Structures are given as C-alpha cells and as structure tokens.
Amino acid sequence: MPPLVGIPRGLLYYHYGDVWCDFLRRLGAEPVVSPPTTQAVIAAGGRIDEVCLPVKAFFGHAAALTARTDFIFMPRVVSVAAGHYSCPKIIGLPDIMRAAFPGSPPLIAPTVNLREGRRSLYRAAAAVGEALGRSPLASVYAWQRAWRLRRRPEEAACLAPAGKPSVILAGHPYILYDRLLSMDAAGKLAACGAAVVAADRADPRAADKAAAALPKNIFWHYCRTLAGAALAFLAASPPPAGVVLLTSFACGPDSLVGELLRRQAERRGVPFLLLTFDEHTAEAGVTTRLEAFTDMLLRRRLP
C-alpha cells in the first residue's frame, strides 16, 4: 500500500496544490488533501496564537490529517523568486506544527529558497524523495514532470464592456477560493448584480510590469503578486467599476498593500472596498457592505 501523505488545504496549497499532488503520486505516494474549511477546522487551529485566520485554518486542516496519514507534507517555502521572501509565518510552518501538535505524523518539510538558485528546488525534491524511499534523480525528474504538466491557468481575464459593473476581487488565493474564509464574497457580489473577476486572472506579464513600476519593491513575494495583478486591472482602459480587497486581520504586509491599492484606485476614480476577516467576523455585516458597495456601483452607471 502506498504511503499516505497529507496535504493541508490552506495557504500555498491554493498556489501549488495540483503540482504537489502530481509530484507525490509520481514518487509512489498517495496524497490526501483535507476537506474544505469548516468552523471545526478553524477551531482546531485556534490553539495557535498571534497568527492570521488563514494560518489558523491551515493548522486546523493539518490537525484533521494527523490520524489519517503516514506523513504530512509541509514545505518550508522561504523564497520562490530572487530578491523576494515568503511571509515569515509561511516560512515557519513546520516549526509551529511540531511545537503545537506533538505526536503528529512525521513531516515532509523540504526547504525551498530560490534566493539560492534553482539547486535549492532540486535539493528540496530530493529530500521529499528520500523520505519516500526514492532516489534523488528519480525525485528531481518527478518534480520536473509535475511542474511541466501542471494545470495551466485559464485565459487571462479582460474587462470588456458588459451590462453589469465589473468588480475586481483581489486577495490571496487562500482567502479568495476558500468559501468559508471569504464568506463567499464572490457569490455575494454576483448575486448583487456585479460581474466578478478574480485579480489573479490578470495577465502575468502585465501584473509583473505593474508591480515593477512601483516606487519601491514589495519583497514579500505573494503580496507583490497580489498588488501587481490588481494594479494591472486598474491600469486597464476603461478601468473596472470597483475593486474589493479581501484580507485577514493581523496580516501586516497586506495592510500596506491595501493602502497602496486604495490610493491607486482613488487616482483612477475607482471605488475601493477593503474587507478584513478574522474568526469573529459576522457574515451579515459582510453581506451588507457588499450589497451597499454594489448598489453604489449600479447607481454610478445611471445617466
């Protein structure tokens, strides 16, 4: 029977989850992804203090896998681009897991630090293979195949004129695509009559160009990616009808990105709404704010 390797459905899973699953299968393991987020998952991760809601959800997902798997896959992603870093809490995930959940299955926690070059990625692949009894060469080959055959993103979205006001929904994928953490903001906006476009569907080249044009480099990689994508849409002609940014309480880098996007939206005359979530956020309040925001956008379109 192949070893069962648990993958928590949170944080970087929403960036690389399909690649990780394919990679582990190629190494002869069976990936086990935790179910979608529930309130019980958040409660299980609530033992971690002074971290944002997505991190608590991540550890709740990890806890849900401890009795079902032989290993838990939790890479230490220090950097995925030269000159950039991941969030410190993402870097420290394996350490927090070992301290907060003693007795959990062994972690497969390779270090990925592309500030040191691509060899770091190959060493990480070899470390995963070693944990699963595979040779370094076979492991690196498995990673290369998984990365090349990863699911291609959908065609980049555009803001073509339509009967509905276009709203850019920005935020980290682990918030945007987790229906509980985001309180289904996309669905609520659509129900109010907005044409919703997730910011991560921006053209990658346009997003990178927009981020590079900022007066100061954002060295938190995933925040830079988020900002660049939203800024690329704001630079479109015509610009979107509105921008909604979803973020989590206690996320310092996102607080800076939020202010940056607010100022850029203001310069383009685009209404901007910031929604900050934690485990105490009331869904009724979020619904009311989204309804009011969409109603304002619709009124702006009246002759």
CB atoms near residue 284 (< 10 Å): 9
Render pLDDT for 211-247 as a digit per residue (tens, 0 to 9): 999 888 888 999 999 999 999 999 998 899 999 999 9
Cα–Cα distance between 272 and 269 in angstroms, integer? 9
Q: Is 184 left (phi over 0), alpha (psi -120 to 50) or beta?
A: left
Taking the domains of the chain in order of start, what are their residue ranges?
4-148, 166-300
Is residue 282 within a helix (H) or strand (E), and if so which, with residue range? Answer: none
The pLDDT tens digits of the residues spanning 6-27 come to 999 999 999 999 999 999 999 9
Do the domains at 4-148 and 166-300 have one common CATH topology? Answer: yes
The pLDDT confidence band at residue 58, using thresholds 50, 70 and 90, is very high
Here the tokens at position 200 are 């991560």
Average pLDDT of 163-191?
94
The pLDDT mean for the chain works out to: 91
Tens-place pLDDT, residues 249-268: 888 788 889 999 999 999 99
Phi, then psi, of 8 in degrees rounded to 5: -65, 135
166-300 CATH: 3.40.50.11900
Instruction: State yes or no: pLDDT of 210 exceeds 70.
Output: yes
Structure confidence at residue 59 (pLDDT): 96
Residue 191 has pLDDT above 60, yes or no: yes
pTM above 0.85, yes or no: yes
pLDDT in tens, 100-128: 999 899 999 999 999 888 899 999 999 99
At 255 the pLDDT is 84
Q: Is the pLDDT of residue 159 over 90?
A: no
Fold topology of 4-148? Rossmann fold (3.40.50)
pLDDT at 156 over 80: no
Q: Which residues, 6+ apart, have CB-to-CB distance to 2 below 8 Å?
A: 28, 29, 30
